[in-house]
Amino acid sequence: MATVLVTGGSRGIGKATAILLARHGYKVVINYLRNKQAADEVVNTIRATGGEALAIKADIADELQVLAMFAEIDNAFGAVTALVNNAGILFQQSTIENLTADRINRVLATNVTGYFLCCREAVKRMAYRHGGEGGSIVNVSSAAARLGSPGEYVDYAASKGAIDTLTTGLSLEVAAQGIRVNCVRPGFIYTDMHATGGEAGRVDRVKFSLPMQRGGQPEEVAQAIVWLLSSKASYVTGSFIDLAGGK
């Protein structure tokens, strides 16, 4: 049975993805930052339907914590064959004049360095040259990578732009090692990210500016992630799926 790590898997898009992956037969590791109770609830939801799941606390921006998390997965479930790089942060809307160095560094540490570290550890376990059997990685970027989020979150948008470039470069670097690397770019999705980071009610405020006139649900993003990870997408790498209601 394949082992998958979903970073930031205790809520939102990560939670929906973890639950759907379990239904597809994966052993699921739910990484979380602080909320053990929420992570345990996802684990219990999966176990209640006969699936296998485990919650591991780790800050993906911290290299030692990432190393410890992957080692724990090796022991508990066997090496990962799939990775969903999903954990991300967003701060309040701000023009560039008010972006502090601390904020910029925190956004880049999680949204970029964290993704790199998890990709690195996954590749070490998946690549043929390391004795692995190949694998699949999906990076969760954002429509912001294309649109830039001017006057709101250019720091966040730029961090997601880096993830798009990471997806392209890494997909080429590891294609011959049996590893596929793809990306989803959600638009406005109903999750707690907007309330804790950006602006509560944001999806409803902007939804009529979207061609489809509505925000998206985490489960709609999860469907694309699960497909990209699966063997149904066996000839797909370096690709991007936009889940943004047409914008």
Residues 6+ apart with CB under 8 A from 24: 226, 230
Whether the CB-CB separation of 125 and 142 falls below 8 Å is answered with: no
Q: Which is nearer to ligand NAD, 69 or 79 (CB)?
A: 69
- In whole angstroms, the minimum distance from the beta carbon of 202 to ligand NAD comes to 8
142 touches ligand NAD (CB under 6 A): yes
- Spatial strand order of the sheet with 3-6 comes to 53-57, 27-32, 3-6, 82-85, 135-140, 179-186, 240-243
Q: Which stretch binds ligand NAD (CB under 6 A): 17-25, 58-66, 70-78, 224-232?
A: 58-66
Whether the CB-CB separation of 162 and 169 falls below 8 Å is answered with: no
Cα distances (angstroms) measured from residue 79 to each of 50, 163, 186, 199: 21, 24, 28, 38
Whether the CB-CB separation of 232 and 207 falls below 8 Å is answered with: no
121 touches ligand NAD (CB under 6 A): no
Q: Which is nearer to ligand NAD, 103 or 178 (CB)?
A: 103
Among 2, 21, 30, 33, the residue binding ligand NAD under the rule CB under 6 A is 33
26, 153, 156, 190: which one is catalytic? 156
Count of residues engaged in binding ligand NAD, rule: CB under 6 A: 27
- Phi, psi for 121 (deg, rounded to 5): -65, -35
Q: Which is nearer to ligand NAD, 61 or 79 (CB)?
A: 61
- In whole angstroms, the minimum distance from the beta carbon of 2 to ligand NAD comes to 22
- Per the annotation, the verdict on 26 as an active-site residue is no
228 touches ligand NAD (CB under 6 A): no
Residues noted as catalytic: 156
